[in-house]
Structure 1
């Protein structure tokens, strides 16, 4: 039985792709076609569409697979390790969902299927790897890799910071990988998030799959109780000044430990805010830089 929750636009696009393909797709082909929708159609400019990271079989989206799971649970899609297809029956409901998509999105799906939908799987994979080699850098299909393949990015020693506000977990981690980051140091006091992929446990799981080390340093965060009532820029600055003046000196051993790690491996201080001026990671980064002599780089 179909769920009652409103369907996300990305999920409707999944249904459109499967319906217009007219057959079950292997997971590898399915993901490649969704990736090409992102890269080669008007959906490249849609911030709500799926982002991708280099993974075991090339480009992959953890967010896409989560939403595919929602479609399967609601009875729209039948999916397993070997194939993904529309569930039997319910075509009228699928058609209604597809028809609610804007015309340019429906055209984009048709464009990708017309160009790539009948390619043999290995030919499709080889083509994607050749034209988007970054996304092939972690693939296990060595027989299909382009030559030369880009080497891993190397980040020079520095105190890196990043905020994930406004980004999917796939886009955020893809940026870190591109910058040569090896360790994610989560400096939120309480690593919870309503946004998929950014709770501490789930973020640690995804990082591990991508070969990134995840560490949580709650002592270097700011407790939620101290954030109550924050409004404009000035209130954030007062909070951060207190953090710099009171909290960091009391956590000097933790600052030193993080600094030692950042000397050894390319590491990033992770928190939420897009604007680093309103995030405690800016003050923490300055303290680590002072302890290590490294420069601060906000990604």
Structure 2
């Protein structure tokens, strides 16, 4: 019996080593016991709550019936992965030896901690699940996420302010909301053409930023002490007002990298 933690580690190995075209695998980020996936854990809870799995991580008759629908190629990859690791210890040792980047926050085999140099990044969560998002932040040693949305709500519930702050805390990352540097929802509607974006960003650069210099100064000060990431929705910073903020910071001779 592996246990839930080992099940998640097995899913991690599959995500890195199994070629499964057309199958969306889980994303992972470094956590207290190595690579972790909030989405995978939520799915395991769902399986248990809906009678597909018992509390011992064994499939129930209903779960076994559902498993019959799994593609043979996927079932074979899972079986091969499980066969490789006869027990939890073998699996954990393999993960720690092969994927050290995902064990940097582990309490099982602690690493020497160092304080990374301050830095400023920008990041968008469009097209990312929460685990892929956290992984990007942790791998770049971000210590504080600066949310520059005017309204910190999202149709992806993982990125609603309260939920996001909780996930970040779980990963050892601070959260700061700076709504003054956001763009009002009404101005974000019906942005379709490059000209639409250019119009909004021009107004933002000429009116919003100068009117909120104190908020920008706060970011500059924080970026001089921490590794911060300015976050909004759009994947590409060029299509987001955080790109305008980054431009203003670069004009102050600060280096800003887009994740």
Per-residue displacement from partner, 1:140-179 (whole Å, max 9, x unpaired)? 113xx6xxx686683x544310111111111111111111
Q: Once the 2 structures are TM-superposed, how far is the Cα of residue 290 of structure 1 from its aligned partner?
A: 3.1
1:75 is paired with a residue whose SS is coil
Aligned in 2, Cα 1:153/1:178: closer, same or farther, shift over 3 Å?
farther
Q: C-alpha separation between the residues in 1 aligned to 2:81 and 2:3?
A: 16
What is the CA distance between 1:296 and its match in structure 2? 2.0
Counterpart of 1:90 (choices 55, 62, 65) is 62
Deviations, residues 242-263 of structure 1 (Å, cap 9, x unaligned): 1111111111111111111011
CA drift of 1:69 comes to 2.2
Deviations 1:68-104 (A, max 9, x none): 222223222233xxx42224x425xx32x32333332
TM-score normalised by structure 1 residue count: 0.80
Q: Which residue of 2 aligns with 1:25?
A: 2
Counterpart for residue 105 of structure 2: 138
Look up the SS of the partner of 2:123 in the other structure. strand
Contact 2:143–2:173, Cα closer than 8 Å, also in 1:
yes
Give the paired residue count. 259
Q: Give the secondary structure class of the aligned counterpart of 1:85.
A: coil
Q: Which runs of 5+ in 1 are unaligned?
A: 1-23
* Structure 1 residues 102-117: aligned runs within 5 Å: 102-116=71-85
Q: Which has the higher contact order (CA 8 A, sep 6+)?
A: 2
Mark the runs of 5 or more structure 2 residues left unpaired by the alignment: none
Show CA shifts across 1:31-56 (max 9, x none): 1111111111114x667311111111
Q: Distance in 2 between matches of 1:150 and 1:115?
A: 30
Question: In structure 1, the residue corresponding to 2:220 is in which secondary structure?
Answer: helix
1:283–1:153 Cα change, 3 Å: same
* TM-score after normalising by structure 2: 0.91
Check whether the contact 1:134–1:150 (CA below 8 A) recurs between aligned residues: no
Q: What does the per-residue CA deviation read over 1:84-128, in whole Å, with 9 as the maximum and x for residues that have no partner? A: 2224x425xx32x32333332122112112212x22x22321221
Q: In 1, distance between residues paired with 2:22 and 2:221?
A: 40
- 1:185 is displaced (CA, Å) by 0.4
TM-fit CA distance, 1:194: 2.4
2:152 is aligned to: 191
Q: Is the CA contact (8 Å cut-off) linking 2:121 and 2:256 kept in structure 1?
A: yes
Q: Which residue of 2 aligns with 1:258?
A: 219
Q: How far, CA to CA, are the matches of 1:220 and 1:282 in structure 2?
A: 12
Asked whether the equivalents of residues 181 and 268 of structure 1 are also in contact (C-alpha less than 8 Å), the reply is: yes
1:69 partnered with 2:69: no
The question of 1:128 aligning with 2:95 is answered yes
Q: How does 1:196-275 map to 2 (within 5 A)?
A: 196-275=157-236
